[in-house]
């Protein structure tokens, strides 16, 4: 695995935990995790696309009790900002 793959995996694991929680500040924590990933990853568009693909893969698993909608929507909105 490359360093980039490791970084995506590290943040996906954290997002997986957040996808299972009902904390009231879950959205903020998800956004903070994604922003931290982007700060570490480099190229914003490429990094967002990698993260979007990883989130789509996780969401497609349809594991009971996981809600990936906040992470998915935030990444897509960030991509939309880039035009």
Helix (H) or strand (E) holding 70: helix 69-82
5 vs 79, residue with greater confidence: 79
Domain positions in the chain: 3-82
What confidence tens digit (pLDDT) does each residue in 29-75 have? Answer: 999 999 999 999 988 899 999 999 999 999 999 999 999 999 999 99
pTM value > 0.75:
yes
- Measured CA to CA, the distance from residue 40 to residue 81 in angstroms comes to 19
The pLDDT value given to residue 48:
95
The pLDDT value given to residue 5:
80
């Amino acid at each position: 695995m490359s360093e980039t793959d490791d970084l995506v995996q590290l943040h996906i694991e954290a997002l997986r935990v957040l996808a299972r929680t009902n904390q009231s500040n879950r959205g903020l924590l998800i956004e903070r995790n994604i922003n931290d990933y982007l700060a570490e990853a480099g190229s914003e568009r490429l990094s967002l696309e990698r993260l979007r693909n990883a989130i789509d893969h996780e969401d497609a698993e349809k594991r009971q009790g996981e809600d990936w909608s906040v992470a998915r929507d935030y990444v897509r909105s960030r991509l939309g900002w880039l035009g």
